[in-house]
């Protein structure tokens, strides 16, 4: 939980959440997961993981949940489309990479 809180703090904390509209934040071990609103990259999910080298990996992707086709009643599986993954990101570059990928500013 502390790792995810620190990652959110380095992104800009509550100002980041207010400016971007990111929601559904989940702390998962050394990872902060969040859902993103519509943006330029079409990514709707972001995972930021703290690596053993004290750097971060930012994983942007578009996730579509599985659903039932109403005409054929066939199940359509979950779909994940990779948008961008950056490894070896230092804490002072998190905001810049987020803005570069999504086109959304993290602060005024």
Percent of the chain residues past pLDDT 90, beyond the cut: 97
| Beta strands 75-76 and 23-28, pairing class | unpaired
**From CA 3, how far away is CA 27, in angstroms rounded?**
8
Report the pLDDT value the prediction gives residue 107, as an integer from 0 to 100: 86
Nearest to 9 by CA among 25, 73, 29, 57: 25
Banded model confidence at residue 1, pLDDT cuts 50, 70, 90: confident
Nearest of 76, 48, 46 to residue 64 by alpha carbon: 76
Cβ-in-10-Å burial (0-12, 13-18, 19+) of 38 comes to exposed
| Digit-coded pLDDT (tens) for 66-77 | 999 999 999 999
Q: What would the pLDDT profile of 5-44 be if each residue is shown by its tens digit?
A: 999 999 999 999 999 999 999 999 999 999 999 999 999 9
């Amino acid at each position: 939980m502390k790792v995810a809180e620190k990652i959110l703090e380095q992104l800009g904390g509550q100002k980041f959440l207010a400016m971007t509209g990111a929601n559904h934040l989940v702390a998962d071990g050394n990872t902060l997961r969040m859902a993103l609103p519509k943006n330029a990259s079409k990514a709707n999910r972001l995972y930021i993981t703290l690596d053993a080298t004290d750097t971060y990996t930012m994983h942007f992707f578009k996730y579509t949940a599985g659903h039932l086709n109403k005409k054929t009643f066939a199940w359509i599986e979950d779909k994940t489309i990779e948008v961008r993954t950056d490894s070896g990101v230092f804490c002072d570059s998190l905001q810049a990479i987020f803005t570069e990928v999504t086109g959304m500013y993290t602060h005024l």
